[in-house]
Structure 1
């Protein structure tokens, strides 16, 4: 869940945001452009590089014994959480570049939207931010800021700068970024807007899905006089199922037939938007193996609104009771269900 600041301090926080936004908008009066040539910066479209006399508003990281990060193969350092704009954030520093993005010969610095359990996939936070690096020779801060705000959400929690600064410029003592094996980073975050877009679904397919079999022996068939009968509940793909039999057909159109269905045993336990994709076979066994079984196979999306699927005319009662076909033997028959759950769909959370 996204961390939300308590409402009691909301007005004060909004005032701070307005002040920060005015500060950003008047940057021309408060910042001066860095000499790009002197530090050999890579040209990156949409990135504003500035120098600030003021320290970062929201968070500062001081890293001592910087060289030991590489010595101990520490690819990144993730800061503790800090609050800005009513949300929790972290800074992530990659001393040799973000290897997941194939960055080399640079340091990388990212801002991450944090939270105890992570934010909802369908929740968005739009934020502008600046990330800082202290020049310890002058006491000023080199800062990078994207011209456009970024959208943080459950599937994209981090934004930042893969090539924040070249390693050559970063480690050059004359630049003052690393002094006595120590460097200082910081962050400012301005949340401009937030919104929930919780309309959608997530489909999860199951790799190497397992087939489950359930066997249902029905005795005293001649005494079945109810409209329908259910097998015992069984589990397949973490769902509860049952076989449903209509001895004389499910409705008038199926009169004179056995109707056979696979059904969710407890469809009311499913959220209204959840669905289960299952491939299944229903089989009426020939009990002395003298002839073929009667079976049908299909795939179907089961849900609370569509909890049952099968065949209203699975077999005629006459054919079923014919002695030579051996489906009904000693007034008993056996039905099998083979169920494989291949996927589930549910609402985004």
Structure 2
């Protein structure tokens, strides 16, 4: 299942969180401990610190919701940068988790947009992860014998030093705009694909190797097709940044003249070889028939602009 929540997507997955998990043996006791603290705001707890990507983080839990962030009567979760770096910005993509103790899977709140941590903004999170009614409902499996498990997964984190340099100080930064490019990928016998994902043949744009990555039955959800643009791991950016504006398209092969292609626009930074950007739930499987012809689908990418920023 999935449910969009602004800049986050609610998904159920089986894979364990990769970065940090914490088990709370007694939620009632934790709430009492929070209420007994000397802090003015007795509504949350900063759980044990952990490290990821050479930075120190903390998972902050509001067991009755962060009311200042419209989270009343919900579980609220936040990721906190414990030691912010002076004059530096850390760009982070992360996901939150609650363990379902009945079904042995996880409710994942997947981040859809990169968040920027710095001295003036050390926390980002979700005020309405799940309503307290749903969380307390024993049939949902999140709270069992007053015990619960929360987690966070940091997908990536990288540092920008004085991020305005690339715009302001042209004496130290050079931006080169490279030509556009189009690539078409035909996939015959689409319904016969057996692997969880498939890759297109490699294609070259201005000396760098790219490919498309498709999940015929979704990477996290079994009801959709996921589609990504990948910068091959062999293509180094040499410490520079590639800004890519591209359109991912699935051709509508229905004979009806009003049939429209499925397309999504991508505007992202590629910082190193091996990175990918795209869309989970690019198209639902229930909408696929107009896009197949004799079990063949056609995927196109139109790279409208690549800007190489040399630092």
| Greater gyration radius | 1
Q: Which has the higher strand share?
A: 2
TM tier relative to shorter chain? 0.3 to 0.5
Normalising by structure 2, report the TM-score. Answer: 0.48
